[in-house]
Amino acid sequence: MLKIDSLTVAYGQKRVLKNITIEALPGEIIALIGPNGAGKTTLVRAVSGTIPTESGQIYVNGKDLSRFSTAERARVLAVVPQTRQLGGAYSVEQAVMMGRTAYMSWLGRESQEDRDAVRLALEQAQLQDFADRSIAQLSGGEQQRVLLARALAQSTPVLLLDEPTNHLDLQHQTNLLSLIKRLSIEKELAVLMAVHDLNLVSFFADKVALLVGGELITFGTPQEVICAENISEAYQTPVEIIPHPVTGAPIIFPQGALEQK
């Protein structure tokens, strides 16, 4: 589905991503983890085509994205940006409709297909009751679902998310990730997601890519990647990892905090 092949990105002389190769299959959530500055957001932006790449290819369904126009790319690959405050100009439905830009003529006339896709996206993001509300009046969690619905309206096989749970509380983090998990399975989406919270990653991700200093250190299942050795090394802080008593998913404790007690 989504294949990132030996991708290298440079800002001027400095290489910020080196030779990254990651593949995501339909229905699979790939989590990008790593300390601040590891290149998670850069990778999301490079794959989405908003920053230029130095070398390497990105394929969706075997097609090289570098040959795609902006609109063609937006029909195979949608991005949910980081949570931020959205202002009041548009209703939820209007904002989600803008996700259909790649299908519209440049006049922006809506077709029946566009309206159907928006209705479906609103349902999937559980926003059908908010359609006419102004986006500024929504809570942080609801606004994040608007951005998710806008990306779903793009009807793409691949979804990229850039730290979608930042600034959300525990309940909204869990709800959003459960929703993404369910959609990835139902719609067979390949999901690539930069996330900070390692415990959430180990519950929701199918595969984990650990980035440090722009390099891919390991890529595998949460059990394989999230071990004391890898995490302590990558984040430069000792951690202890115990398996969840029911699911076996790895749970991370920072050791420094344990010693303080």
- Supply the minimum distance, in Å, between the C-beta of residue 251 and other proteins: 34
Q: Please report how close the Cβ of residue 11 comes to other proteins at its closest, in angstroms.
A: 14
The answer to whether 59 contacts other proteins (rule: CB under 8 A) is no
Under rule CB under 8 A, residue 42 binds other proteins? no
- Give the interface size with other proteins as a residue count (CB under 8 A): 31
In this chain, which of 12, 87, 112, 229 binds other proteins, going by CB under 8 A? 87
Token pair belonging to 121:
């996206």
Q: Rank residues 81 and 222 by Cβ distance to other proteins and give the closer one.
A: 81
Question: Is the CB of residue 213 less than 8 Å from the CB of residue 15?
Answer: no
- Compose the 139-178 pattern: x for residues touching other proteins by CB under 8 A, - for all others: -----------x---x------------------------
Q: Is 66 in the site for other proteins (CB under 8 A)?
A: no
**Smallest gap from residue 34 Cβ to other proteins (A):** 22
Q: How far is the CB of 96 from other proteins (least distance, A)?
A: 11
Q: Using CB under 8 A, pick the residue from 27, 35, 49, 254 that binds other proteins.
A: 49
Q: What is the 3-state secondary structure (H, E, C) of the chain?
A: CEEEEEEEEEECCEEEEEEEEEEECCCCEEEEECCCCCCHHHHHHHHHCCCCCCEEEEEECCEEHHHCCHHHHHCCEEEECCCCCCCCCCEHHHHHHHHHHHHCCCCCCCCHHHHHHHHHHHHHCCCHHHCCCEHHHCCHHHHHHHHHHHHHCCCCCEEEEECCCCCCCHHHHHHHHHHHHHHHHHCCCEEEEECCCHHHHHHHCCEEEEEECCEEEEEECHHHHCCHHHHHHHHCCCEEEEECCCCCCEEEEEHHHHHHC
Q: Among 89, 170, 242, 257, which residue sits at the site for other proteins (rule: CB under 8 A)?
A: 89
236 binds other proteins, rule: CB under 8 A: no
Query: Given candidates 19, 54, 59, 75, which one binds other proteins under the rule CB under 8 A?
Result: 75
Q: Is 45 an interacting residue with respect to other proteins (CB under 8 A)?
A: yes
- Residues in contact with other proteins by CB under 8 A are 45, 48-50, 69-71, 73-75, 78-79, 81, 85-90, 94, 98-99, 101-104, 106-108, 150, 154
